[in-house]
Structure 1
């Protein structure tokens, strides 16, 4: 794999939509869909990996382990939503160092109060947290995405001050999360424009919502909105499992899944594992290490799990 550094994407003239994912399967799906980068969603990751809602219980080890798994199976840049950075600034430093060394390309840290408490950190304390995060990334290509949770509708001047202080502390990008709750500027995109007019930064546009138009989002690029976060993976996975599982439970047969999603343009002969065999990397690699490639496990499994009816996209005509 040849990985394009995130800074290269930041320097081009394109805007990127970034699916928020939770594991290697959701990452592979985003890659097959054509997306260029992904973000581990803290809430989706928590529910999918532990069965516990996002109560800030995930550890640095769990984040670093998943980062290592994802960056080992794709060359897409990986963002991680690390919320409040695991605790006091020293813990933020340690956590960001672990995740950066695992190959993470950008880490989101917020200015929320720690330990699940209400409110925000005072600006000076937030700056210490962001400095610690940036120091933890030293010696790597990892970038800092600072999330500002201060309201853009209440005391806009403090919002601007916070963003500028975070940039001075080392933030490479800003996520103005409270755009999601803005009501006084006429629309979320209007609030985003105002932010872009007063803070000169590379922005992450938070949580693409139903009804938001691509032209309106594209128009924000001139104000620095380079990345657009979008949640769909976790919802889609749960809905598909509930839908298919309901049919199996009610019919006590397993025919439904074979035709239910034909309209999508994707189809697996036997298992989604065929998507991971796609490209031949593992078959070719193991075949190179044996005198009898036909007996290699990768070769045998590839033949078992893939077939002539596999479809890897609407344009994959066979």
Structure 2
């Protein structure tokens, strides 16, 4: 079942900041920090699972299993990337029912041609707006729980311009999308246009080094946005940290002189992964067996 708290937060006018999660360590860390929602990034999930580019290579079966694991292991509502829905209308219906059954709270579907490409990268092509509108109608009809939210993303800005992106956002809202996601606007002025011209809850995608300026939450809310996702912030930080500590190990031959801030701490990691409960279980059953 979808978690009703995300829809309730949006209905109440709260601004939602959602960090990107990409594996179960990032999910467990983020889940304990008090965010309203977590964003299960396609880029990061594909990278951590397969070690390849987010270019339409991962299958529905692979992704629903990963997204379901995030949702079932986290107390926080999970927003999940579902690319294009992994095919046509019938595939999309299967994707929506599968993601909902897996415990995801919101599903993101985009209007790219297959195979899709990561947002903020060149060469993205989109399907006809009317075809995408049908996909949204199918998605809305397929869900069982009204708290399960459908996010419609358009990648039209980069190839077709901001006017077409806004037109598509308006059309997708009419088709029944709960949240509109205009990918990669290229200026604050464009973001203000989106906020002023699309009457729907809006999602801002904040990618460090991407095509869109990263605005403060207060500014985003003031110009009409409701959700800010940070899909890359986690895996970019982790990659940089790994490079630093691996370089130290290569150069020094041991980890003794690593600064304390470079280590999460073995004891803390044991707690994060639930070892205290395991140890308590083993102690209790050792007494029972004795």
* TM-score normalised by structure 2 residue count: 0.84
1:57 and 1:222 mapped to 2: Cα distance? 38
Which runs of 5 or more residues in structure 2 are unaligned? 117-122
CA contact (8 A) 1:152 1:191 kept: no
Matched with 1:56 is 56
- Give 1 or 2 for the bigger CA radius of gyration: 1
Question: Any stretches of 5+ residues in structure 1 without a counterpart?
Answer: 183-187, 297-318
Following TM superposition, the consecutive aligned residue runs of length 4 or more in structure 1 with deviations greater than 6 angstroms are none
CA 1:52–1:155 in 2, change beyond 3 Å: closer, same or farther? closer
Q: Partners in 2 of 1:63 and 1:228 — Cα distance?
A: 22
Name the counterpart of 2:71: 71
Bigger RCO of structures 1 and 2 (CA < 8 A, at least 6 apart): 2
Shifted more, 117-126 versus 149-158: the winner is: 149-158
Equivalence for 1:202: 201
TM-score (norm 1): 0.77
Alpha-carbon distance in structure 1 between the residues aligned to 2:254 and 2:267: 16
- Work out the CA distance in 2 between the residues paired with 1:120 and 1:151: 10
1:243 is matched with 244
Structure 1 Cα separation of the partners of residues 215 and 205 of structure 2: 14
The Cα offsets for residues 169-203 of structure 1, whole Å up to 9 and x where unpaired, read as 22000111131xx2xxxxx2222111111110101
TM alignment of 1:1-318, pairs within 5 A: 5-116=5-116, 118-139=124-145, 141-151=147-157, 156-179=162-185, 182=186, 188-209=187-208, 212-214=214-216, 217-230=217-230, 231-257=232-258, 259-261=259-261, 267-270=264-267, 272-277=269-274, 282=277, 287=281, 293=284, 295=286
2:66 aligns to what SS in structure 1?
Answer: helix
Retained in 2: the 8 A contact 1:63–1:99? no
Instruction: Count matched residues.
Output: 276
Distance 1:167 1:213 in 2: 24
Q: Once superposed, what is the RMSD of the aligned Cα atoms?
A: 2.9
* Aligned CA distance change for structure 1 residues 75 and 270 (closer, same or farther; 3 Å): closer
Deviation at 1:15, TM superposition (A): 1.4
